[in-house]
Chain A
Amino acid sequence: MTIDEARTTDTEAPGRDSSSQQAIGTLIALLALLWLFWSADFAWVIVLGVLIKAAVYAVSAMSLNLEFGYTGLLNFGQVGFMLVGAYTYALLIPHELGRAGTAGGSWPLWAAVIAAMVAGVLLGLVLGVPTVRLRGDYLAIVTIAIAEILRLVVRALPGLGQSFGVIKYNEPFDDLMPGFVEDWAQALDVPPNQLWLFLVAWLTVVAVLGAMALMIRSPWGRVLRGVRDDEDAVRALGKNAFWYKLQSLMIGGAIAGLAGVLFAIDQGQISPAKFLPLVTFYAWTALILGGAGSLVGPVAGSVIFWVILTQTSSLAGDLFPEWSSTAVSATRFILMGALIMILMVFRPQGLFGKREELSLEIQ
C-alpha cells in the first residue's frame, strides 16, 4: 500500500460494515417483527404496545451502549437513571401525587423533559466522580447499589409519593397530539394517545441513534474507544481518561433520563415498584442480544427482546393449554435465557457486533 492509496482509504475500522453479519442481524430482527404480526389474536393495540416498550428499552440500551460498548463502563444501575428521569419529568409537569392525590407541577412539557435529562447528567456526575476511578467490576457493584438506594429513598419520602407514586401526568403529553394522529388511530383501531406515544418514542430512538452516530464516529468517540481498550495508554498520550469516562456516564445518563421519560409516559403512573433491578437487566439483555459496540445493535436487540418476551407467552399457552398462566409467563423467561445462552455460544458478539473485536480481547 502506498501513502496515496492509504490516504484515500476510508478511515473507518475494518468490519464496521462486515455485510454478512449485518445481513444476518437485520434478517433476524425482521423475522422477529414478522412474528409479531403473525399470530392468531393479531391486533394493532398489541403490536404498538410491544413496539413502544421496545423503543423505551432501545433508548435505555443505547445509553448503556455508550457507557459499556464504547467506553467499557459497567453500569448495572441503569434503572436508577431511568427512575431519576421519570420522577423529574412527572413531578415537574402537572400531576397528582401520593395517596392523597395532591395536585402539583406547573412546568411546560419541554422544560420537564430537559430537566429529566439534566437530572440524568447530574446523577452520572455525582455517581461518576467517586467511582469512575474504580475498576470495572467495582463500578458495577456501586451502580447497582445506587439504583436500589434511589428506589428505597423514593419509597420512603412523602414528598415523592412513597409507594403510591405519581399519577395523572400524561395530560400535557396527550394535549400535544396533532390532529392527523387521531385519523390514523381510527384506521388502525387503536387509542390515539397510544399511536401518538408510539410515534414520539420511535422518533426519539431515531434522534438518539443519530446523535450517537455523530458522537461515536468522531475523534471524541475515538478517545472513548481508546479508554475502553486501555485507559493508561490513552493517558500516556495526553488525554484525560477520567474526564472522558465521566462524560460518557453523564451523556449516557442524559439518554437514560430520556428513556425514563418515555417509560413514565408509557406506564401512565410511576411508583418505586416499577423501578426494580429487572429493568436494568432487560436493557442489558437488549444490548447483549443486539451487540455492544454497534450503533443499531441495541435498537434491534430491544425489538427482538420484546417480541420474544410477548410472543413466547402466547406460544407456551398454545402448546400447553393445561398450564396455569403463572407457569406460562415463567416459560418465556426460560426461553429467553436459553436463547441468550445459545447466542453467547454461537454469536458472543451479539447480532450486530463485530466478532473480530471480541477475539482481540483475549491477548
Chain B
Amino acid sequence: MRSNDVRSSDTRSNDVILSCRGVRKHFGGVVAVEVAEFDVERNTVTALIGPNGAGKTTLFDLITGFVDPDGGTIVFEETDITDKPAHAIARDGLVRTFQLTRILNKMTVLENMMLAARQQRGERVQNTFFRRRDIAHQEAEIKVRALALLERFSLLPLAYEYAGRLSGGQKKLLELARALMTDPTMVLLDEPMAGVNPALGEQLLRYVLELRDEGMTFLFVEHDMDIVMRISDRVVVMATGEIISDGTADDVRSDPAVLAAYLGDHAQEDIAEAEGEQP
C-alpha cells in the first residue's frame, strides 16, 4: 500500500481528466445533485462515498449521459460532454458499470464481452453482406482479447454459458470485464464489490490498481469502507447531493463534516462498521 501512496502523490500533477462545474439535478422539489466543483485526476483511483440517497449514483448518471443535468458543465479530456448522449460518452472512453448489474442475460458470457469491443466493422449492416472475411478476421481478434480478459477475472470456464446463469458476484465481475473490453481511459464503477466473494474481490482490487498503474483512471462508489480506505488515492464524500469532503482517506476519516453527515442520517451503523473494520 505504501508504494501506491508514493505513486499517487507522484502522479498528482493536477492533470484533470474529468471535471464537473455547477452540475445540478433536481427531481421535483428534491435536490438530487448540486455539485459546485468536482475534479478527477488522471491515473488515480477516486472513491465516492456517502450515506444512502447522497446522490452518488445520480452523479454517475449525469456524468455518463444517462440523465441530463439541469445545469452546469461536465468536461472529459478537454471535451464538453454535458449534452452528449450516453453512447457517445462511452465511445470517448468514459465507461460505467451499474449498481444493479446490467448483463445481457440471453447472450453468452463471451458474447457479452465481444459485443463491447469498439469499432467493429461487422456492426454496419451492409458489411454483414459484403465484408464477411474482414469481419471474421476481426471477430477472431476480439475473441482472443475477450478470452484473455475472462481468464483474468476467473470467468473463462463460463465463457459459453448464458450470462443469465451467472451468480450475482460473477455478474459484477463480467460487467467490469466487459467495460474493460471497450478500451476505456476512465471507468466509473458503481458498487463493484457488492456480492463478490472476498477472495475474488481481492483479486479484482489488485487488478484495478494494476490498471491504474498502466494509466487508467477509476472513480467508484463503494460502501465497504475497508476497501475504500485501502485502494483509493483520494476519497470524495457526498451528502444530500453536495460534496462535503474531499481528500486522502485519512483526511476524510477525521473530517467532522463527514461524521456529522453519516451520524445525522440513520447511518450510524455504517460508520461504526467502518470504524470497527479499521485496525
Contacts and interface: CB of A to CB of B under 8 A. Distances in A.
Interface string B78-104: 000000011110110001111000111
A1 interface: yes
A211 B118 CA distance: 24
A360 B118 contact: no
Contacts of B223: none
A345 interface: no
A220 B118 contact: no
A291 to B, nearest CB: 14
B128 A7 contact: no
A356 interface: yes
Given A3-B148, A236-B102, A14 B161 contact: yes
A222 B111 contact: yes
B87 A235 contact: yes
B90 A236 contact: yes
Contacts of B72: none
B109 to A, nearest CB: 10
Contact of A229 (B87, B106, B116): B106
Contacts of A251: 125
Contacts of A234: 87, 104, 115
Interface stretch (A47-55, A237-245, A302-310): A237-245
B148 A236 contact: no
Contacts of B90: 235-238
Contacts, number: 147
A274 interface: no
A234 B115 CA distance: 8
Interface residues of A, number: 40
A233 B120 CA distance: 17
Contacts of B147: 3, 6-7
A71 B151 CA distance: 30
Nearest to B120: A219
A239 B125 CA distance: 14
Nearest to A233: B102
A7 B144 contact: yes
Which of B86, B127, B179 counts the most A-chain CB atoms under 10 A from its CB? B86
B97 to A, nearest CB: 8
A326 interface: no
A341 interface: no
B106 A11 contact: no
B105 A238 contact: no
B194 interface: no
Interface in A338-363: 356-357, 360-361, 363
Query: Chain A interface secondary structure, helix, strand, loop or mixed?
Result: helix
Given A1-B156, A234-B115, A241-B87, A360 B105 contact: yes
A220 B122 contact: yes
Interface string B116-136: 101011111101110010010
Contacts of A228: 106
B143 interface: yes
B87 A239 contact: yes
A3 B97 CA distance: 26
A264 interface: no
A233 to B, nearest CB: 4
Contact of A11 (B95, B96, B128, B143): B143
A238 B91 contact: yes
Contacts of B135: 218-219
A223 B128 CA distance: 13
B104 A14 contact: no
A225 interface: yes
A219 B136 CA distance: 10
A356 B124 CA distance: 29
A11 B111 contact: yes
Nearest to A10: B160
Contacts of B118: 238
A279 B154 CA distance: 50
Interface in B143-160: 143-144, 147-148, 150-151, 156-157, 159-160
A47 to B, nearest CB: 34
B129 A238 contact: no
B98 A226 contact: no
Given A219-B120, A236-B98, A360-B164, A14 B108 contact: yes
A239 B115 CA distance: 9
A9 interface: yes
B143 A222 contact: no
A14 B162 contact: yes
A134 interface: no
A120 to B, nearest CB: 15
Which of A218, A234, A239 counts the most B-chain CB atoms under 10 A from its CB? A218
Contact of B129 (A214, A229, A232, A356): A214
B211 interface: no
B64 interface: yes
B104 A226 contact: yes
Which of B91, B106, B151 counts the most A-chain CB atoms under 10 A from its CB? B106
A247 interface: yes
B159 to A, nearest CB: 5
17 contacts: A1-B157, A7-B147, A11-B114, A14-B161, A220-B123, A220-B128, A225-B104, A225-B111, A226-B104, A226-B115, A232-B86, A235-B90, A236-B95, A236-B97, A239-B87, A239-B123, A363-B105
